[in-house]
Amino acid sequence: MSEVAAVSENGIQLNEQQKRRQRARSIAIALILAAVAVLFYVITVIKLGPGAAVERPL
């Protein structure tokens, strides 16, 4: 975070530590998104009741 990334003609080059941090953050965001998806699925099922979406009148 506080280290300076190298700038070359190919753009900004992250050093090894920055790459590892970025990877760790990406994994964290993926896990949080997955947890939110599960959370909303559970809320929906409980709020509507199992099968409610299928049984509702068209």
Partner 1 sequence: MDPRPVAGQTERELFAAELGDYFALLKPRVMSLVVFTAFVGMVLAPGGLHPVLAAISLLAIAVGAGAAGALNMWFDSDIDAVMGRTRNRPIPSGRVERGEAAFIGVFLSVASVLVLYLVSNWVAAALLAFTIFFYAVIYTMWLKRWTAQNIVIGGASGALPPVIGWAAMTGSVELLPVVLFLIIFLWTPPHSWALALIRSGDYDRAGVPMMPVAAGHKSTRRQMFAYSVLLAPLPVVPTLIGSASIYYGVFAAVLGLVFLERAWRVFVVEGEDYREREAARSLFAYSILYLALVFGALLVDTLLVRLGIVG
Residue 45: CB atoms within 10 Å: 13
Rounded Cα distance, 1 and 12, in Å: 14
Please, what is the minimum distance in Å from the beta carbon of residue 40 to partner 1?
A: 8
Which among 6-14, 21-29, 50-58 is the span making contact with partner 1, rule CB under 8 A?
21-29
Instruction: Please report whether residue 37 would count as binding partner 1 according to CB under 8 A.
Output: no
Helix or strand holding residue 12 (H, E): strand 11-13
Q: What is the size of the binding site for partner 1 (CB under 8 A)? A: 16
Instruction: Please report whether residue 17 would count as binding partner 1 according to CB under 8 A.
Output: yes
